[in-house]
Structure 1
């Protein structure tokens, strides 16, 4: 049984997220997803959708077998239970693969790390990005010329 792990914020769920999760699921038998906690998100704006609601959305998706909120104190804590064989990174996720691999190995985890390309996820379309969706909403609904 190959366990695949994907992580993300998943704020404003969109087709790019679905494609990412479908591609991740295709790499193994079970797909586990860790949802970033509101308090821990520091590399981009805080989510609009609260973490518990984001968790419910991800749990409801067909490719996802298990979804959990991340730890508030230790990024690697959920991995102790999940024990992933593969960790999938989206093309635009900020993790440095070499640093992630070293940090995982230092903690006793030795999964394969797979970074999907933009082409793999089919996310070259305009509405496959939360930022692009927000910009389009502002343009069409809020900003008047």
Structure 2
């Protein structure tokens, strides 16, 4: 009997303070594979994308995610936008994107086709997006 390889599912994000929306993302993504890998956006990339540094450093964010029972591994993402070298290194079977990651979807799907990589891209359902989006929480809006 052949040993079947574990199916690796990957999520991408800044993960600057884990909230219930992130936990829901992890729970949904975990259903698509055996091991969930969280790819953490580097500090410099976060500044380029969002115009500001995250509250927690990239090493703090990775360390926090590594403690999460749903996550098999947390790693830093690439140093350059749209390079996706991490996909060649970790070889995921699927990438799960949050409801608010349309820009990433628009970038990564054509890149996967160009590279001829057979990695499934799955859009996950929102979880109370008006209450738990990180940008709202960081502004002090708590939905009460």
TM-score by length of 2: 0.83
**Which of residues 65, 70, 73 in structure 2 aligns to 1:63?**
70
Runs of 4+ in 1 over 2 A off after TM superposition: 94-99, 122-125, 134-138
Query: Cα distance, 1:96 vs. partner?
Result: 5.2
Counterpart of 2:92 in structure 1 is 84
For residues 40-51 of structure 1, what are the structure 2 equivalents within 5 Å? Answer: 40-41=45-46, 42-44=48-50, 45-51=52-58
Contact kept, 8 Å, 1:4 with 1:87, in 2: the verdict is yes
> How many aligned positions are there?
134
Q: How many angstroms apart in 2 are the aligned matches of 1:46 and 1:35?
A: 13
Counterpart of 1:109 in structure 2 is 117
Q: Which runs of 5+ in 1 are unaligned?
A: 139-145
Q: How many angstroms apart in 2 are the aligned matches of 1:134 and 1:76?
A: 28
TM-score by length of 1: 0.82
SS state of the match for residue 104, structure 1? Answer: helix
Question: Aligned-residue CA RMSD in angstroms?
Answer: 2.0
For residues 34-45 of structure 1, what are the structure 2 equivalents within 5 Å? Answer: 34-41=39-46, 42-44=48-50, 45=52
